[in-house]
Amino acid sequence: MAEMFYDDDADLSIIQGKKVAIVGFGSQGHAHAMNLRDSGVEVVVALKDGSKSAQKAADEGFEVKNVADATQWADVIMILAPDQVQRTIYTESIQPHLAEGKTLAFAHGFNVRFGYIEAPTTVDVILVAPKAPGHTVRREFVAGRGIPDIIAVENDASGQAWDLALSYAKGIGGTRAGVIRTTFTEETETDLFGEQAVLCGGMSHLVQAGFETLTDAGYQPEIAYFEVLHELKLIVDLMIEGGISKQRWSISDTAEFGDYVSGPRIVTDQTKQAMKEVLSDIQDGSFARRFIEDQDKGGEEFQKLREAEAQHPIETVGKDLRKMFSWNKETVDADYTEGSAAR
């Protein structure tokens, strides 16, 4: 069984006694900064000079420093910038000012796991990763609830790194829901696999393939959209509430029977073998190298793939259909061309 921790297991005063710099003010950055501040922690937001996020942070009442100054000032430096830029930020602005006794913190282990960031042995290196987007982390905290976190320690120079990680998790609301102990390697490899094989890559391409199968057979694109994409949220919500068993309990007997007899025809032994190959590419660093090398070239492959996927017919059909939903008026047709919300 996983090792679980809750509010009573964590000492909030540990993080309250630290000065914390949050590097980045995107989805996760704004949530960490605001939740910690509400928990009585002294926080500054660390951004590169000229960052467009500086005014947003200032408007929320935060002092904004450049990353080098923030690193010198802080006891704990939480890096919440996108994976592909973390090593540059670290090399140029953090490493030269990372004095003995400080703590380097992450919400994803990518750069540490694959060796793009190698911290000195004289500092603690911890991970505190909420398992939800930052806006949800903030919303749940304000509501008096929390999002489950996972925590890890890569280097325990002080002998108190685990206590600090747990205290930080309490500061952002994680221990209200529950915190699981892991390692940088386990968090990174399982996170990347889940994204690629199931949550993002697997799901989106399964939806596209289902849409293509129905429209190729002559069915209306609008009907295909509803059947393979729109109802997906309803199914996933049931899984979140009570697992796969509740989803199967909630649907019709016809749908449940179809699940049992047809699901294995789609997700076959060949599919599982492909998943193992995806996992192998993650474990041996192949995916990380491909991603970082492409980013170093300006993201040529990334942009080409993004543009190609955006042209899929399901996107055009969905854009029109989503206008039908009154509850969706505020977010429909949002401009997603800027990329990850973490930025």
**pLDDT at residue 1, rounded to an integer:** 78
Measured CA to CA, the distance from residue 229 to residue 233 in angstroms comes to 8
CB 107 within 8 A of CB 53: no
pLDDT at site 339: 44
Catalytic hit among 108, 205, 230, 312: 108
Distance between CA atoms of 10 and 144, rounded to whole angstroms? 17
Tell me how far apart the alpha carbons of residues 180 and 129 are, in angstroms, rounded to a whole number.
Answer: 10
Please tell me the predicted confidence (pLDDT) of residue 258.
97
The strand pairing partners of 126, in sequence order, are 105, 153
Residue the block writes with tokens 């090399």: 91
Pairing of β 124-130 and β 149-155? antiparallel
What per-residue confidence (pLDDT) applies to 340? 47
The β-bridge partners of 76 are 20, 103
3-state SS, residue 13: helix
Positions of the chain with pLDDT under 70: 326-343
Q: Quote the pTM value.
A: 0.91
| pLDDT for 209 | 97
pLDDT of amino acid 53: 94
Q: Which candidate, 291, 307, 336, places its Cα nearest to that of 85?
A: 291
Please report the pLDDT score of residue 327 as a whole number.
59
Q: Is 108 a catalytic residue?
A: yes
User: Token pair 């199931």 is at which residue?
Assistant: 198
- The tokens describing 158, both together, are 């002080």
> Using CA atoms, how far apart are residues 166 and 127, in angstroms rounded to an integer?
10
DSSP letter (8 states) at residue 41: -
pLDDT in tens, 216-273: 999 999 999 999 999 999 999 999 999 999 999 999 999 999 999 999 999 999 999 9
